[in-house]
Amino acid sequence: MKELYCITCPTGCRLTAAWNDDELVVEGNGCNRGVDFAKAEMTNPTRSLTTTVRTTFPGVPVLPVRTDGEIPKEKIMEAMKALNNIVINDALDCGDTVLEDLAETGVRVIATGDALVRKELKNTIHSSQMAESDVPPLADEPEVEAPPPEEDEANEEDAAPQNEEETQQKQKGRPHITRG
């Protein structure tokens, strides 16, 4: 005997299912769909898969997706690995195909997000068009390094005296001048 929770509807009936020879005896089901669910669970359990895939668009780094049907429960891990390798780099709308055949199950994966990716792509195209027309050509001038910062007079005054003359000048409050 196996205990199951029917996930066909929000009621979530707690079922017991046991084989009596070739017949599956199901109890605890609130309706006949519970029997179908128990039969599927006991023979070929399947699940819908809902997850996200990565995109190349900074504004929309991940896109929500789902399977367009159920896949065998035993294929879930293989399916997740396949989806982890997908990176969307094209405009997609809700319902568009992300992957035609997920983990050789024959089930499509479709986008469930709104048109964020399409909007992002439009923004990208607009930006690149602006960049091509507006950005002037690069000059051939070499790069100019910034000059080294000038010594701070305050730091010079704070420096420790190097000889007796410097010590006397510091004590008198005069500026220190080094003669070459």
DSSP SS3 for 73: helix
Least distance (Å) from ligand SF4 to the CB of residue 3?
14
Answer yes or no whether residue 83 interacts with ligand SF4 by CB under 6 A.
no
Burial class (CB in 10 A: 0-12, 13-18, 19+), 107: buried
Least distance (Å) from ligand SF4 to the CB of residue 66?
21
Q: Which of 2, 18, 25, 33 binds ligand SF4 (CB under 6 A)?
A: 33
Least distance (Å) from ligand SF4 to the CB of residue 25?
15
Least distance (Å) from ligand SF4 to the CB of residue 18?
16
Answer yes or no whether residue 13 interacts with ligand SF4 by CB under 6 A.
yes
Which stretch in 6-14, 59-67, 118-126, 145-153 sits in contact with ligand SF4 by CB under 6 A? 6-14
CB atoms under 10 Å from CB of 53, counted, come to 20
Q: Of 33 and 126, which has the nearer Cβ to ligand SF4? A: 33
DSSP SS3 for 98: strand
CB 40 within 8 A of CB 47: no
The distance in angstroms from the start CA to the end CA of the chain is 101
Residue 129: which residues within 8 A CB-CB, separation 6 or more? none
Q: Which of 2, 18, 25, 31 binds ligand SF4 (CB under 6 A)?
A: 31
Answer yes or no whether residue 17 interacts with ligand SF4 by CB under 6 A.
no
CB 60 within 8 A of CB 117: yes
Q: Which residues bind ligand SF4 (CB under 6 A)?
A: 6, 8-9, 11-13, 29-31, 33-34, 37
